[in-house]
Chain A
Amino acid sequence: MEPASGNVATQLRRGVLEHCVLAVLARSPEYAFELVRRLSEVDGLVTSEGTIYPLLSRLSRDGLVATTWQPSDAGPPRKYYDLTAAGRRALAAFAAEWTTFTQGVDDLLRQAGVAVGGRPRGARGDR
């Protein structure tokens, strides 16, 4: 991987990861391991799964998510994370920002003649 693109991915991840957590939890409450698995399905979103826990803890302190312990069939009780009303508002605000922001960036990239919505020409791909 090129160092520059790696750095861009890190910067982007830093900015959006917490809202992706909120987005996953908006569908249903999850315990952390399942939440991490869902996030990991998005390519490049989670590089070190362990770093999710400090993020979850901060979201909880900020009142955007709430935790409850629920019994598990498989072992000890699981800590479930759920969105709070404040979390839903934060997610809605982010979604609006995100749409405007990505549309603006896409427009700039199109004007620059760079393909948007796929791999740029000449990138090392699978095909």
Chain B
Amino acid sequence: MTADPGADPVELPEVREYLERLRAEGWHLPPDRLEEMVDDVRAHVREAVAAGVAAGDDAGVAARNALERLGAPAEIVRAEAEQSGVPTGPEPVPARPGAMVRYGEPVAIFLLMFGAFLLVVGWLVGVLLLWLSPSWRLREKALGTLVWPFGYLGVGLAAGLVTYTESCVSTGTAAGGADITTCTGGPPYPGWVGVLIGIGVLVAPVAVAAVLWRRRQAVLDGRAA
């Protein structure tokens, strides 16, 4: 692939992927150390590509050479863990991310959406798994918890409350003997607004599930490399 020589080399797909893998591999490092490491590597790639381009290489080729010379992201993270004394190796912190990531996280996503139908406790288990996950950061955990409490059961209950705020009272008897009822109340907005809110509320858990799944895949891909 020929890259635009004027573009920032760290925006090249292979470099972005490398940096993403570096972040994923370093999930257990202190955040400030991880950021400094990523910044250092990013600056290194910029320098290496500039040097390669000055020597007549295509920017893409120079970037791939630079990444190869940098070594595997896992190797850099291992060096960082060694230098800063962070536990690493076959038993990283927390103890068993493998099983948690492989089984716990998909179950968490399912339970967040539908777990409340399993005696409500299902959703609480989903939240617990969500917060125990090593892949998701605070923002994903907060999102998964708040959108929506009790998943689709919560959506159903909320919809029920909104729909049945109408109150109907019997106001008399018609000539034929039938009751006359008068209904008051109902949502304080036009029907189409209600439909839009309804669609948004229904789609939100799916969107959150997609966000959680994508983050998990990114971490998995990085770890697998």
Residues of A within 8 A of B (CB): 31-33, 36, 40, 47-51, 53-58, 61, 74-76, 78-79
Contacts and interface: CB of A to CB of B under 8 A. Distances in A.
Nearest to B46: A75
A78 B37 contact: no
Nearest to B18: A50
Given A33-B44, A49-B69, A51-B75, 13 more contacts: A33-B47, A33-B51, A47-B71, A48-B70, A50-B44, A50-B70, A54-B37, A54-B82, A57-B36, A57-B37, A57-B40, A58-B83, A78-B43
B70 A58 contact: no
A117 B145 CA distance: 66
Interface string B67-82: 0011111011001101
A51 B79 contact: yes
B83 A57 contact: yes
Contact of B80 (A31, A40, A54): A54
Given A54-B82, A55-B79, A58-B84, A49 B72 contact: no
Contacts of B41: 50, 53
A3 B44 CA distance: 30
B48 interface: yes
B50 interface: yes
B44 A54 contact: no
Most central of A32, A48, A56, A75 by chain B CB within 10 Å: A48
| List of 3 A-B pairs having minimum Cβ-Cβ separation, nearest first | A48-B71, A33-B47, A50-B70
A61 B33 CA distance: 11
Contacts of A51: 71, 75-76, 79
A55 B40 CA distance: 12
A32 B82 CA distance: 20
A57 B43 CA distance: 14
Contacts of A54: 37, 76, 79-80, 82-84
Contact of B76 (A50, A74, A75): A50
Interface string B11-41: 0000000000000000000000100110011
B66 to A, nearest CB: 8
A50 B83 contact: no
Contacts of A40: 69
A55 B83 contact: yes
Most central of A50, A54, A55, A61 by chain B CB within 10 Å: A50
Contact of A48 (B36, B47, B75, B84): B75
Most central of A40, A56, A57 by chain B CB within 10 Å: A57
Contacts of A31: 47
Nearest to A37: B51
Contacts of B48: 33
B76 A32 contact: no
Most central of A31, A49, A53 by chain B CB within 10 Å: A53
